[in-house]
Amino acid sequence: MTASVFIDGAAGTTGLEIAERLASRADFTVLTLPDDRRKDDAARAELLNDADFAILCLPDEAAVAAVGMIRNDRTRVIDASTAHRVADGWTYGFPELVGEAAVREARFVSNPGCYPTGFLALVAPLVRAGLIPADWPYGCHAVSGYSGGGKALIERYEGADDARATAPSFRAYGLAGGHKHLPEMKVHAGLAREPLFSPAVLPTFRGMIVEVALPASAYIGHDADTLRNALSGFYAGSPIVTVRAPDPAMGELLLPATMAPWDGIDLYVFGGARGEQARLIAVLDNLGKGASGAALQNLNVMAGLPADAGLRLDR
């Protein structure tokens, strides 16, 4: 017997990709609304209550309202918005960090943000192990494909014939701080303060690199190899998170201009030649493990399936 899924907000970038991925799977049945009823609250409420699983791909306020439309104690929810990522009663949907059992048993699961996925994958295990401090003023530099900005940013890059010529080749933003991802980065890494977060956008549709640079004073008594080995042990056996040993000849990390859809995440720890620094780097697809792929992984776990069922993990 297949489980039913309703994607509320299926016309957005994340929702479209989830719907396309589920369409080829026999273990789920996707409940859909005609285009002219997508914003009909009565029709949405009916499917939210009919579905075994509801995946919310909505703005924050709309996601909160959608949860309020569920009148039963049966429908299970995955929320891809920011609204519930640090909310009481919600399980953070990063199975590698919170444990698959927690996600499997949860009724309400909040899908992580794309940037926080990279940051937390690197930092949270090391803080838990006591290898780096919880009260350090961490900085996080990250670049993402423009699809992470939703329809408005995609339009800016693709909307006109000359969009690629006139759109920025590098777009730094969040310059005044207060980015919406900061609360989950702090809370789920177990930090005493929010990191200094410097996000930017590149003229590529998908893909993301997240970096946390550490001076040696942040990991006194250890070295880059210790940090890398701790991450390798933490993610041992994961089919989705891979800790890569850097090739001695490796002088660069590249983000392809035409990255293929991918649901994995690669982690690196590079050490300075004189042991004076470590650079923690995560490479992922902002629409894969950073959004739609993570939602599908959470859906798999909640439905009692292997976490990597139907995921795109080949590169």
- For the CA atoms of 281, 178, 189, 193, what is the dihedral angle to 10 degrees? 110
**CA 203 – CA 265 distance, rounded (Å):** 21
**CA 200 – CA 197 distance, rounded (Å):** 10
Which residue in this structure is represented by tokens 């994958």? 121
57 given a catalytic annotation: no
For residue 170, is it left (φ>0), alpha (ψ between -120 and 50) or beta? beta
Q: Look at residues 96, 89, 64 and name the one whose alpha carbon lies nearest to residue 79.
A: 64
Given 114, 212, 282, 296, the catalytic residue? 114
Which residues 6+ apart lie within 8 Å of 230 measured at CB?
125, 126, 129, 131
**CA 17 – CA 310 distance, rounded (Å):** 13
Task: Return the structure tokens found at 294.
Answer: 């993570």
Residues with a known catalytic role:
114
